[in-house]
Amino acid sequence: MTGSRASLPNLEQRFLPPDGWRWHSFRNPQGRILRFGTVSPRGQIPHAVVIGLPGLSEFGEKYFEVASDLLKRNLSFWVLDWQGQGLSHRHLKNRHKRHIESFKEDVADLHYFLMEYVKHSAVHPDVGRIPLVMLSHSMGAHIGLRYLHDHPDMFACAALLAPMIGIKALEALPFLFAHGLANLHCTALGQQYVYGGCNWTPDWRKDYGNGPFSGDPERDRIHNVWMEHDPELQVGSVTFRWLREAYSSCAVIRRKQYLEAIKTPCLLTLSGQEIFVENAAILAAAQRLPNATLLELSDARHEVLMERDEIRDGFFDAFDKLVREHVIEKPETLKPF
């Protein structure tokens, strides 16, 4: 799909597919279909291939403006819809329920995607391997950290925006109590919404620019506009199983020596107005990762890439520095796929 105007919602051009955008899909080894989108600079060898790893309930369409920004930097962009959201496989009959079986599956899906699809486009006869750069948000950054631990030589560097290393709603609870509570509810109610959960509703983001996601009204509304335009994208609240798996997976990342084993240069962002992920866990991770830079954005809310220009530009300044130092100026450090 290149995106004819007739099939697109009424949005500014910057929020629509950039020239050359294509949608694709693949079956993972379990036979489940996952969707991804791609775009590359025309007539140029890109400096790097940026792999977008969206956050909870997000989808590729939300990242069209990001894709255009990266093209201006001579960077290709590939974005993956995780199982359970976007137009990828949904686990339950009620498509709205954000369910999961294990975050290990997401790590495995990412590796299959990279090895079977991305790597063939990330090699050029004139320059050899084109570096991979991770651009990940929240839950996507959580999966990204687990991937960097398990596959240390794949990415040249990684940007992790508001990484989900801890869940703010649970941070005040002692670990054993919270873990036991999550297990108890998962056993009895694994496929049910968490308390207060429901199918998707636009009311979750109705006060554009004044809610917990973004201070930019136009970027904040993109999520709802696309979900209303294509109901297949809609995702509701998480299930108890998702919550249990997320909490358990955060515990894996916080194990002794886990983060210390990740040598990939990482840029972590911390949003000062955060209410979803645990900022104390991000601060601790930045201290434990051997090659980490922490960018604190005091006025930012959860979705930095959907924020006001001054906040977003601050991130991209740091991102450009990351790519320049670890990709453009150091291509000789890359190993073959």
Q: Which amino acid is at 17?
A: P
* Alpha helices, DSSP H, located in 48-199: 64-72, 103-113, 119-121, 139-150, 175-189
Average pLDDT score over residue span 127-151: 96
Task: Judge contact between 84 and 99, C-beta under 8 A.
Answer: yes
Q: Which band of pLDDT confidence, cut at 50, 70 and 90, is reported for residue 181?
A: low
Average pLDDT score over residue span 52-62: 98
Q: Which residue has the higher pLDDT, 187 or 34?
A: 34
DSSP type of residue 275: -
Dmax (CA) of the chain:
57
Rounded Cα distance between 210 and 208, Å, is 6
DSSP type of residue 98: B
Note the pLDDT of residue 195: 87
Q: What percent of the chain has pLDDT over 90?
A: 83
Rounded Cα distance between 100 and 238, Å, is 9
Q: Count how many domains the chain has.
A: 1
Task: Kindly give, in sequence order, each residue whose CB lies less than 8 Å from that of residue 125, ignoring residues fewer than 6 positions away.
Answer: none
Rounded Cα distance between 293 and 209, Å, is 28
Stated pTM of the model: 0.94
User: C-alpha angle 193/242/113, rounded to 5°?
Assistant: 130
pLDDT digits (tens, 9 = 90+) for 134-143: 999 999 999 9
Domain span holding position 23:
5-333
Average pLDDT score over residue span 201-214: 95
Q: Point out the least confidently predicted range of 38-42, 118-122, 261-265.
A: 118-122
Q: Which amino acid is at 20?
A: G
What CATH number is associated with residue 79? Answer: 3.40.50.1820
Q: Point out the least confidently predicted range of 14-23, 66-75, 186-195, 274-283.
A: 186-195
Q: Which band of pLDDT confidence, cut at 50, 70 and 90, is reported for residue 7?
A: confident
Q: Which residue has the higher pLDDT, 329 or 162?
A: 162
Note the pLDDT of residue 82: 98
Phi, psi of 300 (to 5 degrees): -80, 145
Residue 335 has pLDDT above 50, yes or no: yes
Note the pLDDT of residue 108: 98
Question: In Å, how far from its chain's centre is CA 190?
Answer: 24
What is the residue-averaged pLDDT of the chain?
92
Task: Judge contact between 56 and 138, C-beta under 8 A.
Answer: yes
